[in-house]
Structure 1
Amino acid sequence: MSDKRLTDAHIVHDSVFVDASALQIPTLRILQEDGTPYSDAVLPVLDKTLALKIYDTFLFIRALDERMLASQRQGRISFYMTETGEEAADIGSTAALQDDDMIMAQYREQGALAFRGFTPDQFMNQIFSNEQDLGKGRQMPIHYGSRQLHYMTVSSPLGTQLPQATGYAFALKAQQKPNCVICYFGEGAASEGDFHAALNMAGVFKVPVIFFCRNNGYAISTPAHEQYAGDGIAPRGIGYGLKTLRVDGNDVLAVLKATQEARKLAVEQHQPVLIEAMTYRLGAHSSSDDPSGYRNKSEEDTWRAKCPVMRFKKWLIHQDWWTEADDEQRKQQHRDQIMTAMKKAEKVPAPPLRDLFTDVYDQLPWHLQEQQQALIEHIRKYPQAYSKTAGRVDHE
């Protein structure tokens, strides 16, 4: 095959340097802050049932985040991460997918999992690492995963899911499956080498993947202007040959429309897509973080007025699909449901010790057998140093 990079290029005869001003990427927005669409806006494919499911997931996540952050402060759990302010990004995009499309999350996408049907009990079992946790208590809180719901288990190292998404999408293409992968990450993770390798491979091999960047303005405490000099993350997609779109990440209708069209490109044309959702993390990075040390209250208040939950609620009320009375009733139902699930999960024992050693090898090798026996003998020797649940050595 001949190389057309020069033969098809626009040739000039003096130096012309190109900078960011040559590429202005627009931002898709459908809803105004008062909940009414712009007059020329093209709405996504959406009916009442889907709209109310999206909003109900918003309310569930707000209730979950509020209760779990309080529980961490009380010492009942060790760690938590809220997604307050970013709900439209993951929930709106997941609503555009098929149920068997693969989700590869970073760590702040519990809304995507809730939308797919992860129950309050399942959330609590994972957060409390009890014996009913699908991950067998091996992960820290919020590292969810569900094979049934096509949600890849969250991994702590930053950016690892990006090249994995490209590889998974390559397999979907090879098997001719009518599905795609959506891969979530923050603008901070876009500074990792895995980001560049993943996008380059996706662009070269034309695989059905949607890279979804939640640009919330901060990589923990590092503001965006200290992370990169370019115009956000979107231009990088163009550089790697991906279809690219920037969207108002606090406008769930815009996110839904963008992802519906991105999925069509990915599945029907095997065209990888990069979506950059411009949003804001209203809460702390995690329960270990204090955002007052790196941003001020007036900045937070400015973004609080752009709340994605409130904006969508106003739209639903304009549609006569929702009322304030519905709102208060459903919020209380979610609070009660979550509290009940939490109290139940706290009483479930921790996984048996054998679960520390299984699922790696078909047959346990000698060195792990020795470690297992040493651990059992240690706990039996010092039972007073371990809780009744953490120190269980039964069923060995």
Structure 2
Amino acid sequence: MTDSDTGQTQRPTPPAAISFARGAPSTDIVDVDGLKQAAVAAFENDPAGVTGYGTAIGYVPLRRWIAEKHGVPEDHVLVTNGSMQADAFLFDEYVRPGTAVITERPTYDRTLLGLRERGGEVHLVTLQEDGIDVDEVEALLAGGLRPALAHVIPNFQNPAGYTLSLAKRERLLALAHEYDFLLFEDDPYVDVRFTGEPLPRMLELDGGADSRQVVYACSFSKTVCPGIRVGYLVGPPAVIDRIRVRATNTYIAPNMVAQGTVYQYVTGDRFPAALERVKTALAERVGVLDESLRRHLPQATFRRPEGGYFLWVSLPEDEGHDVAAIVREATARGVTIVPGTDFLLEGGHNAFRLAYSGVTADVVDEGVRRLAEAVAAARG
């Protein structure tokens, strides 16, 4: 196209970017004012606590609050710089070159990376719409596999958005006791449920304070904001104490300002309403996403999640889809997605993950329309 005044060729204006890639909330649903107030309160109420080094166990009042929330003594809790730091410490404790580990297929890409970097022998088990295939887990165990741990994201799994059923939670626990392996319950999305009824944590089903087979991880990134970088572990005191030593040798103490701010925020009067606002917004977005996928990509299969940030889309395997080509075509149209191949050791070429947490409802349909064009173009 040529500008009639200048005679110069004009390039078409690129479409406004729409990202379904990153699992983070859009700023409009983060309670920025409430966090400002909580930060001020942290400095005013406990200046020594938030400005000092502290200890590797985390900010003591927050640690106490977490312990009370889960009904365990404080020595069962370690507060970390985000739940990924908690994951890393646990993997450092349990995974060596050749260590057998069970995970879901697909699973969070950073989980795969962390386990493989440590030389773990990763056994991916089929993820069904009601969670990991426990029959497949049992068959592996009966066949002689002896994993050090099984990593499971039970609620609104990343990347699929699926939730582990109560019956499967109970069977997994029974297998963990029978074959003596650790269940790592990685649960950052549990409090972001917008439909359906909550299910008990496996930590609770195993006795809470008396649990010996479960280590539980959670995060405030999804309920407060991702930039706060505060997560935690709950587990047997002997395990927590070994990880405390690792934490001490890694950073002496985690971020006390962030943890003090989180404590003031979650114990204040703004947090309940702010969390409800997040859940309401996410429910609206996933509703629009569901309708848009059915309209623009009727050949796709997916399950509408009851909470969390993610939805997994599969295209018919017999149509020869190439997700790398789809990603390229989508990017050219101003849409970003994450290919299914990122969450698997092999396969996933006909699938991708959509994160709806960071896109406002008014642009979801346009994003899916462009994505459908990308799918068609990639096949052509």
**Larger RCO, structure (CA 8 Å, separation 6 or more):** 2
Would you tell me which structure has more strand in proportion to its own residues?
A: 2
In the superposition, the TM-score normalised over structure 1's length comes to 0.28
